[in-house]
Amino acid sequence: MSFHLPPSALDWQAKVRAFVDEELIPWEIEAEMNGGEIPPDVAARHERIAIGLGLSRMDVPVAYGGLAAPVLDQVVAAEQIGRVTNALGWCYPEAQGWMFEACSADQLERFVLPMMRGERHFCYAITEEGAGSNVDDIVATARRDGGDYVIDAVKWHVTSANLADTILVQAKMAEGRNAGTHGLFFVEADATGISTVRNPAYSHTYRHHHPILRFDGVRVPAANLIGREGEGMDFTYAWFRRERLMIAARACGAAERLIEEARAFAATRVVGGVPIAEHQLVQAMLADSVVDLHAARLVTYEAAAAHDRGLDVKALHARCSIAKLLASEAAGRIADRAVQIFGGRGYMRENVAERFLRELRVDRIWEGTSEIQRLIIANGLMKRGLAGTIGAS
Ligand SMILES: Cc1cc2nc3c(=O)[nH]c(=O)nc-3n(C[C@H](O)[C@H](O)[C@H](O)COP(=O)(O)OP(=O)(O)OC[C@H]3O[C@@H](n4cnc5c(N)ncnc54)[C@H](O)[C@@H]3O)c2cc1C
């Protein structure tokens, strides 16, 4: 099966690729050597260009000033963003389609549309010390008190919290008839009672940190509850679906860059009088990488196209898991082979393969580990059968 991208997707591919090549990739080594940081004026320029391209509003309905781009176009754009290391591609906030179904007009005005314009930056706090793979194990609570909710929680690995002014926090209702159900809240990052417990170092070198945050009796206006009490998980599943698909897309982009770089190196690196590309064991590593990428990309594009065809949401959930599982595992293998092809140079932090080897590892962990994706796929198979999971042949 080959996949013909429509003109709109090819257009996104070309313009985001040019942005990544000309503006972002040149800053990778500077970021790697400086704890993820690049000069603030450069970071601001990157955000300005990304927003100017329309990346922050691809998933936004036209009525709100968005582009309502097909999911396939969004995946193709994300794939290009994945070609750059050090998360330099995470240079713009993004308003997501599900928010326009879930949020009140007031929330759209105060939080979501400012994200689309780059005036607000958000992070998502679900995971806790005792609750990762099983979100229902969270012990964070939200207690209603007059016109407010009062949130108590300790959230782990809160990505981008150091750059965010808005935190989406998931908690369980502490009391009342919805006690024990989930709620999702917009919380201002400077609200009284929020503190950083610790800011651990991780394998990659990003300016986006993942601190542990404490919420100690944090008062949030009741108007900041997204949807109703008990609906929190629905929105988090919508978030997971989108993020899993976009992780798959970015993994494909990383894999493409790795193969291109390894191919160029193999064609010019001479060992024993011949380019290493002539050694069949090196050819095998390149060939296996091409096969891995081809499969991952086709499945990712097809999952995106299934969204655009309006496939049932439960089937889409499994499709996103399939894409994430396949693409993240494939990209990990490709990065490992690329390091091997580069030899000693592949172990230097200035080498793209070394950086991707570390950076891609987390794609098999976050937004649900590979094991959790397998459980979702198996669950879909048992409930909806093979055709209901991957479509009829
Ligand atoms: C860099 C980074 C950034 C992150 N950013 C965020 C963020 O912004 N917001 C947020 O809320 N979270 C974030 N996370 C958390 C991430 O989503 C979790 O780490 C992930 O879901 C796994 O949870 P856990 O670490 O608690 O592992 P655990 O749930 O403790 O799992 C440990 C191991 O057990 C396996 N396991 C668990 N249950 C099963 C099962 N039923 N069957 C088989 N195997 C199982 C897992 O696959 C894993 O291998 C981030 C994590 C990292 C590393």
Fold classification of 122-226 (topology level): Butyryl-CoA Dehydrogenase, subunit A; domain 2 (2.40.110)
* CATH classification (class only), 7-116: mainly alpha
Atom of ligand 1 nearest to the CA of 210: 3
Q: From the CA of 369, how far away is ligand 1's center (Å)?
A: 6
Rounded to an integer, the average pLDDT of 204-213 is 98
Q: Which of 127, 129, 138, 247, when mutated, tests ligand 1's pocket best, judged by the most ligand atoms within 8 Å of its CB?
A: 127
Q: Which of 94, 138, 156, 157, when mutated, tests ligand 1's pocket best, judged by the most ligand atoms within 8 Å of its CB?
A: 157
The band of 393, judged by pLDDT with boundaries at 50, 70 and 90, is low
pLDDT, averaged across the chain: 97
Which pLDDT tens digit goes with each residue over 316-337? 999 999 999 999 999 999 999 9
Q: From the CA of 117, how far away is ligand 1's center (Å)?
A: 31
Which pLDDT tens digit goes with each residue over 252-305? 999 999 999 999 999 999 999 999 999 999 999 999 999 999 999 999 999 999
The band of 3, judged by pLDDT with boundaries at 50, 70 and 90, is confident
Q: From the CA of 271, how far away is ligand 1's center (Å)?
A: 43
CA-nearest residue, atom 12 of ligand 1: 127
Q: From the CA of 177, how far away is ligand 1's center (Å)?
A: 30
Which pLDDT score, from 0 to 100, does residue 177 have?
Answer: 94
Q: From the CA of 53, how far away is ligand 1's center (Å)?
A: 33
Which pLDDT score, from 0 to 100, does residue 392 have?
Answer: 76
Res. 2: pLDDT tops 90: no
**The CATH number fitting domain 233-390, selected from 3.40.50.2000, 1.20.210.10, 1.20.140.10, 3.40.640.10:** 1.20.140.10
Sketch the domain layout of the chain as residue ranges. Answer: 7-116, 122-226, 233-390
Percent of the chain scoring above 70 in pLDDT: 99
Rounded to an integer, the average pLDDT of 225-248 is 94
Res. 64: pLDDT tops 90: yes
Which pLDDT tens digit goes with each residue over 4-40? 899 999 999 999 999 999 999 999 999 999 999 999 9
Rounded to an integer, the average pLDDT of 232-245 is 93
Rounded to an integer, the average pLDDT of 127-144 is 97
Rounded to an integer, the average pLDDT of 136-154 is 97
Res. 1: pLDDT tops 50: no
User: Taking Cα atoms as reference points, which of 83, 87, 88, 90 lies closest to residue 259?
Assistant: 83
Candidate from 234-243, 250-259, 362-371 with smallest mean pLDDT: 234-243
Pocket of ligand 1 (CB under 6 A): 123-127, 132-133, 157-159, 202, 210, 362, 365-369, 371-372, 375
Q: Which of 90, 123, 124, 133, when mutated, tests ligand 1's pocket best, judged by the most ligand atoms within 8 Å of its CB?
A: 133
